[in-house]
Amino acid sequence: MAGPTADSISGALKRYRLMAYIVGTVLIVFVAAIIAKNVFHVIDSDTYLAIAHGWLFMIYLLCALDLCLRMRWSLPRILFVGIAGTIPFLSFVAERRVMAWVHAELGSTPAGS
């Protein structure tokens, strides 16, 4: 069976990258809101950010799983990519690493390089 091709991966990679940035940004804002609420008592509630992050994280997981299955990655790699959306700043690191993995496995170079 042939491996993944750039055409079959392109859309999945774009969706994953977009969601990695969105989830990472919302998670950082959510953590800041938690700190503002519990340490500085600046805001009363972080409920809406919690709900937003939860829904966006589910979409992130679907996009990540789609990409990982198309790339036929191992379970540890899939788990790393999935868990990256739960730790502040890690989704940005994972996005860069995923880009490198995809381009290495497809034998292509990232745009802008």
51-72 tens-digit pLDDT: 999 999 999 999 999 999 999 9
Q: How many CB atoms lie within 10 A of CB 4?
A: 17
Residue 31 lies in a domain: yes
Q: What one-character DSSP code corresponds to residue 44?
A: S
* Predicted pLDDT at 66: 97
**Is position 49 within any domain?**
yes
* Structural domain includes residue 79: yes
Dihedral of alpha carbons 70, 72, 75, 79, sign: negative
Q: Is residue 69 part of a domain?
A: yes
Q: Which domain holds residue 49?
A: 9-106
User: Residue 40 falls within a domain, yes or no?
Assistant: yes
Closest CA relative to residue 90, chosen from 12, 20, 19: 20
Tally of structural domains, the chain: 1
pTM, two decimal places: 0.89
81 falls within a domain = yes
The answer to whether residue 2 sits within a structural domain is: no
Residue 112 lies in a domain: no
Q: How far apart are CA 23 and CA 49, in angstroms?
A: 11
Separation CA 19–CA 13 (nearest Å): 10
Report the C-alpha gap between 24 and 34 in whole angstroms.
15
* pLDDT tens-digit series, residues 20-43: 999 999 999 999 999 999 999 988
- Inter-residue contact 84 to 94 (CB < 8 Å): yes
